[in-house]
Structure 1
Amino acid sequence: MSAKLEESNRQLEYISYHDNLTGLYNRHYFLTTFNHLFNDMQRQSHDASLMLIDIDFFKQINDKYGHNAGDEALTHLGKLLKKAIRSGDVPARWGGEEFVVLMPSTTENDVKQVAERLIQNIESYQFPIIAKLTVSIGVSQFRADDTIKTWLERTDKALYQAKEQGRNRIRYSA
């Protein structure tokens, strides 16, 4: 009986921390972890990067192919994201078709390599039903004067610059 209870508790914990579609962490878990790691970064002045990823024209995918195809694309993108990042990075589904990755102990050069690898892997991937999709990525580095809010806002601004400048690209915050 105890083994069954332990397994049920493990399953409940997994469900409470993960997005059921992509298998990535959910927003709640991400924000909790982000807060904890952010406090460590401030105390110890570590390099770190933040990446926001948005699927380009996702509404058109759902409209043209249906929501099941959109869900399938999200699932596959989650797998590609997991393969592109390093162990110790914290990937999550931010909401809808947006994803976020906190990358502790990451220089600007490190995050550029990961973002470029992700863009290339997605461009060359054959997604079921829809075949191709692209993403826009916003990236920023941790600054000593950041708050969680300002860091997220700066990264989000870089993401919107990528979208405004044609999509399927990476933009780095100033």
Structure 2
Amino acid sequence: MITIKAQEDSESYDFLTGLPMRNRSEKLVAQLMQEHDGCLIFLDMDNLKKINDIYGHKAGDRALRLLGHLLSEEIRPAGSGDSDSIICRLGGDEFLLFVPDVSKEMISEIMKQLLQKFQAIKSEDPELQYASISAGLCLTEKGNSFEECYTKADKTLYYVKQNRKGNFYHRMEQKTLSDSVTDKDLALVAGAVRT
């Protein structure tokens, strides 16, 4: 028999990746952002649909499980030290992370190592050859609005996925990012209209 507490816990965690789900984690991130500077990261697994279509959903599940495990190991998860990170699965192939008390240089190094380790591990499984990770980063200051930083990290991820999948970028100046994304969108629309 599952107790109410156990059922609540099971509904708060993603069975596949073992990571907390969105409903609980977004609140924790918003609270942590009021107390710490840090980095909000919108992370996406590239080409999951392609993996599912070619090799089946079990391969896609392996890729998600691999990424969930890697995030838990490489990013300081809650309970592992003075500055606890929040890692959650938003759904599908999207993840949200908040790493407190980290500089731009530190988070860049963490992300480089994460991408390298993902590449090395997935190279051992030929069915995961198309998988890669893209991420949009937004450096935050204590007291920043979660919603605003979430939007900035999301737009930065969109920029990465449109321009260079399998990479990460820090949030650029909003004008530059908006102009670049808008220009890219307009070019895609113009190309579609021409054809």
Calculate the TM-score normalised by the size of structure 2. Answer: 0.76
The residue number in structure 1 matching 2:110 is 114
Q: Is the 8 A contact 1:74 1:97 kept in 2?
A: yes
**In 2, distance between residues paired with 1:58 and 1:78?**
14
For 1:37, which of 32, 36, 42 is the aligned residue?
32
Task: Give the aligned length.
Answer: 164
1:12-33 Cα distance to aligned partner (Å, 9 max, x none): 3431321111000100111121
Amino acid at match of 2:63: A
Amino acid at match of 2:128: A
**In 2, distance between residues paired with 1:128 and 1:64?**
14
The residue number in structure 1 matching 2:91 is 95
Q: Which runs of 5+ in 2 are unaligned?
A: 173-195
**In 1, distance between residues paired with 2:8 and 2:107?**
30
The residue number in structure 2 matching 1:27 is 22
The residue number in structure 2 matching 1:140 is 138
SS at match of 1:63: helix
1:131 and 2:128 correspond: yes
Q: Is the 8 A contact 1:51 1:100 kept in 2?
A: yes
Calculate the TM-score normalised by the size of structure 1. Answer: 0.85
The offset of 1:35, in angstroms, is 2.4
The residue number in structure 1 matching 2:168 is 170
The offset of 1:143, in angstroms, is 3.6
The offset of 1:128, in angstroms, is 4.5
Q: Which runs of 5+ in 1 are unaligned?
A: 41-45
Amino acid at match of 2:24: Y
The offset of 1:131, in angstroms, is 3.5
RMSD: 2.0
Amino acid at match of 2:55: Y
SS at match of 1:114: helix
SS at match of 1:153: helix
For 1:50, which of 20, 32, 40 is the aligned residue?
40
**In 2, distance between residues paired with 1:90 and 1:110?**
17
Question: Within 5 A, what are the aligned runs for 1:150-165?
Answer: 150-165=148-163
Question: Within 5 A, what are the aligned runs for 1:6-25?
Answer: 8=3, 11-25=6-20
**In 2, distance between residues paired with 1:158 and 1:54?**
12
**In 2, distance between residues paired with 1:35 and 1:163?**
25
**In 2, distance between residues paired with 1:121 and 1:168?**
13
**In 2, distance between residues paired with 1:152 and 1:125?**
29
Task: State, as a whole percentage, how many aligned pairs show the same letter.
Answer: 29
Change in 2 beyond 3 A, CA 1:145/1:104: closer
The residue number in structure 2 matching 1:43 is none
The offset of 1:170, in angstroms, is 0.9
